[in-house]
Structure 1
Amino acid sequence: MISTAAAAEASAKPVDEWIRDLADPKFRTREEASRNLWSIGESALAPLNQAAAGEDPEQAFRARELIRKIQLFITPDTDAEVIGIVEKYEKALENEKLDLIHQLQQKRAWRQILKLYASETSARARSQIQGQGLIDRIPVTAAREALKKGDIAGAREFLEMAPATPSGLLSLAEFHRTQGSLEKELQRAKTLEGKQGAAWRLALYRASGNLEAAKVAADEAGEPAISAAMSVLLGDPLPWIRRDPQENSLRQGPRVTYADLAAKRWQGSTLRPSDLEPLLKATNSRNRSERTGAVTALLLLGDPVPAEKAITRYVPLEAFSYFETLERVPESLATFGLDPAKPDYEGWVRERMDKLTASLGADEEDRMEEYDQELDSCMGE
């Protein structure tokens, strides 16, 4: 925030006069003009933009510097360390920027982080920052802090600075719902055109609980996953089941088979053994991803026996955890060759430690790969 004294001093003289003083022959006058325009802040941006495009080089340079500071929410009262980090960021290499963002995060410089991200032109740097999940969390965190202080306008400002992603827009829509302004904002959103308008209506309809309208808006906004989710809530899971395989955790081959079979069963048809044959075959695939996808599909389709055989054979540690979670302790123990009726834990561990000791001459990586799952199980990891 700009100090009251600085703002009062700046307001004692018209902004246009301070703008003219940026080109004054006297250095002290130019410095005073810069300082006071900086204190005025956003209301000085319009004349500063005109000065930045002017012919006087000194005036234009100072105007551009002030615009940069004001747009980055850097005021005369901003922490000097935050200013220093921001200045480093503007000169940093792509691989250095994420660390500087983390430094700003430690200083809780929320406005600066959001503004730097919004103005970032490097796709790689944006991807690295977004990949950390920071940009999705920061507007909500900052808004909560503002609300705790009773600063409702500040909370809204933070949420409006968030990237216009489905999650970011939904947070802003929830703000309008809690503040009682959702219906008014929805009426305004109905006048907006294009995908951006549809995306905003989608968020508002989701916040209001209007599933039918949200589904329509999701289709208009080009958000098939959200549209499919709305269909599920409306009682039709088929669009979700049949959505793009790239958005699903199952691998494409097993996933396509699963989608067809799940849809078939949902529509009332009985699955025949031959329907499951592609998945049963895939459980023995050499491709681990395909095998995992087939196992997952069989479990989801309610045919666990072949799936359990596959995970027991190929990934015993996962099988151990799977059976243990289901409280099928005998099968869990049998996964590692333990007698469920009379498990000899001490002997089991001793046998494997002896094997490990005897293989000291072998390559360490190969040796550890052979025993890591069993030893992890012994240690409870």
Structure 2
Amino acid sequence: MNVTEVISPTVKCRVHLHVHLDGAVRPSTVWELSRQKKLLLPGNGSLKDLEEALQIRSPRDLAHYLQKFRWITPAIAGDLAAIERIAYEFVEDEARRAVLYTEVRFSPHLLVGPGGQVTARQVTEAVMRGMARGERQFGVTARLLLCCIRGMTENYDDTLDMCTEFRGQVVGIDISGDEASALDVDGSVNAGLLRAEVRTFQEAARRGIHRTVHSGEAGPASMVKLAIDEMKAERIGHGYHVLEDEELYRRCVSTGVHFECCPSSSFLTGAVPLTETRHPMQRFCQDGASFSANVDDPAITRTGLEDEYALLRRMGFNEANIATMNFNAAKACFLPEEEKQDLLQKLRQAYGVPGCD
């Protein structure tokens, strides 16, 4: 591919595969809803103080990163109108970021509210309504991934059933949460703790439901191996620690496993220490691995895709590398084949490289 010029940000030319809906809520929306519901806000209750509280100044680990959701989840959980609103606003924000196609993920069970005010299905339907309205208005193709949460095994079957029931708008299943919960004290994978995960994803594969797995972010390369070999993962969320196992990494490259990387959050979660002189994405690029750049949780990272691309440029990535990432993301997306080919054609037109994918 010969791409030498920066594409205008007004042209929809980006494919976004790894972003969490509840981590993409506008801080102004969280602030507005929290004030309406008289919820506790940080500092003196100003929007500025909330924005400050959501940011991570000193990266530690994934558990510390996830604590930021304590300011977000109470404002939207159990409120179907608010949930539909944030889904609509998400699509609007993606359009502003020149996104052509996006897959946004969330766990419906985390948004039912205390006491189960609404059902997970009602939550999912509210998200689908908001996204469909945004699609019509802003011209972004948006699809859903439903997340299981590690340790919340009681919701796995229901999540799987909703992936089946809402197939079309929902294009796949994911599992997220702190990988440390599946490790023994010596850092090795505890297979016993992962039986329910493995069973759920094997059943998803049997049903023809696409699969991506958060692994190799806070956990070791063995978590990536389990995701691919046992859970039948087609894509890996993050996956940076796969480089600890050269044989596994080479297999991933040769078989085209797609890594959904998130440059800014990789530092903020401590997955990639700030002291590292070389980011795993630089190795992925060097070796021709299939990977993409994504935002993860823009409410916390305070970035958009252009910020992530700017970070990559500082690492030495050029416009051809960035274009290739978007084509690889389109090839790895979970759309039906006919729709995927249409997406690829739109990307070719946007980048001015007809026939090159």
TM-score interval, smaller chain: under 0.3
Q: Whose helix fraction is larger, Structure 1's or Structure 2's?
A: 1
- TM-score normalised per structure 1: 0.25
* Structure having the higher Rg: 1
- TM-score normalised per structure 2: 0.26
Q: Whose strand fraction is larger, Structure 1's or Structure 2's?
A: 2
